[in-house]
């Protein structure tokens, strides 16, 4: 895989360099609530601009239906990128139309532009190779060189991720190089004990990575909504908690395999429960009760791990050599259900281990709860991409960057 440093050494002054970034940031209207993914691409964009390239930044945002939708415009992300660069960033109001063509043509050496949301064109995500290829051809007309730096999208076989690199000289940006290097430490060069913390809402989202990690990890801690399928698989009452009954047989098999292989599988000792989901708009006090994880009342739902589990999980992380964490322990966006996630984050901060926060909601939680990002070994920008890499899957966006 060619690196951006190699590309810079060859010279990019005056060349149009297409940077496939991941600017898929959360928005409240037009206000960015977490700019982590924008900050992550700044080193690559700045290095190219400083070398005299004419930088064309492209990304998706959200899930528009293959047509323009103002709710998913990249305009706020373009403005924030300009603030972070300390330079003007031009913005094209379409992807491959007149505005994009004119905006790119108007770039001077060292200039930066962002084109509108790639998913405003149906060709970006099409499953039809010809339709995707046709869109990639139009994108290729905007550039001389391609740099892949949108790690959060490399698990997608999309036009700008998979098809476009085949049409242009290409290299990996700094972010992708960093992410791949970190993930190799989780697969090929692991310091033990290797402890994995998994949370989030659905166990089905994590089945592949659990299956793979049963061959790699020494200890797996489970929290979040997915834990109730595990508790149910052990025969416990889970009340009205989130439950995927169809996954119980698979979970039972994983628990049996973990025991057979000597992998310590740790489930909560206690949970915070309520009769209703908290009001996420007003964040009104929820007044949860704490109950043992094996006796959740039939009319209550579990919404966070309890105080005993926080202590338990912290102790299970204290001696780790490597930690991978993906998924919050509860409804961390509400203050009454944030302490489980906070406790895990703090345990990672306190640990001497190489710690990796696996993107998505975990990365958002770290920032929302006020932790210093530098206190962790690495905070990934790609939750889904990280999980699929750890599952051993071939990621289309990485394969496309291989020479």
235 is in an annotated binding site: no
Residues serving a catalytic function are: 37, 202, 360, 384
Distance CA 152, CA 22 (A): 6
Does residue 90 register a pLDDT over 90? yes
pTM over 0.75: yes
CA 11/CA 52 separation, integer angstroms:
9
Q: Whole-angstrom distance between the N-terminal and C-terminal Cα of the chain?
A: 6
Residue 60 labeled ligand binder: yes
Query: Could you give the CA distance from residue 71 to residue 159 in angstroms, rounded to a whole number?
Result: 22
Tens-place pLDDT, residues 334-387? 999 999 999 999 999 999 999 999 877 898 899 899 999 999 999 998 888 988
Q: How far apart are CA 299 and CA 120, in angstroms?
A: 44
Give the helix/strand (H/E) hosting 255: helix 248-261
Helix (H) / strand (E) containing 211: helix 207-213
Min mean pLDDT across 67-76, 201-210, 334-343 is at 201-210
Q: Are 361 and 355 in contact (CB under 8 A)?
A: no
Tell me whether residue 283 is annotated as binding.
Answer: no
310 labeled binding residue: no
Ligand-binding annotation for 24, yes or no, is yes
In this prediction, residues 312-327 reach a mean pLDDT of 96
Q: Is 359 annotated as a binding residue?
A: yes
Q: Which residues of 317-326 are buried (b: 16+ CB within 10 A; e: fewer)?
A: beebebbbbb
The average confidence (pLDDT) of the chain is: 95
Give tens-digit pLDDT for 191-205.
Answer: 999 999 999 988 888
CA distances from 225 to 190, 206, 316 (A): 28, 12, 20
The residue assigned the tokens 């970006």 is 124
């Amino acid at each position: 895989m060619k690196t951006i440093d190699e590309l810079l050494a060859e010279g990019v002054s005056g060349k149009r360099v297409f940077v496939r970034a991941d600017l898929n940031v959360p928005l409240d209207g037009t206000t960015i609530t977490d700019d982590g993914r924008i900050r992550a691409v700044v080193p690559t964009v700045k290095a190219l601009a400083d070398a005299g390239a004419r930088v064309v930044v492209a990304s998706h945002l959200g899930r528009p239906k293959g047509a323009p939708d103002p709710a998913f415009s990249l305009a706020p992300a373009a403005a924030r990128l300009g603030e972070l660069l300390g330079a003007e960033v031009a913005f094209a109001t379409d992807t491959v139309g007149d505005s994009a063509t004119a905006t790119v043509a108007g770039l001077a050496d060292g200039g930066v532009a962002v084109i509108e949301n790639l998913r405003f064109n149906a060709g970006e995500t099409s499953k039809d190779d010809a339709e995707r290829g046709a869109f990639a051809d139009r994108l290729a007309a905007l550039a001389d060189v391609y740099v892949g730096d949108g790690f959060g999208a490399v698990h997608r076989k999309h036009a700008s991720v998979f098809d476009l690199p085949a049409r242009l000289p290409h290299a990996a940006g700094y972010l992708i190089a960093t992410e791949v290097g970190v993930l190799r430490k989780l697969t090929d060069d692991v310091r033990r004990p290797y402890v994995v913390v998994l949370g989030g809402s659905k166990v089905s989202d994590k089945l592949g990575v659990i299956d793979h990690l049963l061959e790699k990890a020494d200890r797996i801690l489970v929290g979040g909504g997915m834990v109730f399928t595990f508790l149910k698989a052990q025969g416990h009452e889970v009340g009205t908690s989130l439950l995927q009954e169809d996954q119980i047989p698979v979970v039972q098999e994983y628990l049996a395999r973990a025991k057979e292989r000597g992998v310590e599988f740790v489930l909560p000792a206690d949970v915070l429960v309520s009769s209703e989901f908290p009001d996420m708009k007003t964040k009104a006090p929820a007044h949860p009760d704490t109950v043992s994880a094996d006796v959740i009342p039939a009319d209550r739902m579990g919404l966070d791990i309890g105080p005993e589990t926080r202590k338990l999980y912290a102790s299970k992380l204290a001696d780790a050599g490597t930690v991978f964490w993906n998924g919050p322990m509860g409804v961390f966006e509400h203050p009454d259900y944030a302490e489980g996630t906070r406790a895990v984050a703090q345990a990672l901060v306190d640990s001497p281990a190489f710690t990796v926060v696996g993107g998505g909601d975990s990365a958002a939680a770290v920032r929302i709860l006020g932790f210093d990002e530098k206190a962790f070994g690495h905070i990934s920008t790609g939750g889904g991409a990280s999980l699929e890499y750890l599952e051993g899957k071939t990621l289309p966006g990485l394969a496309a960057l291989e020479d």
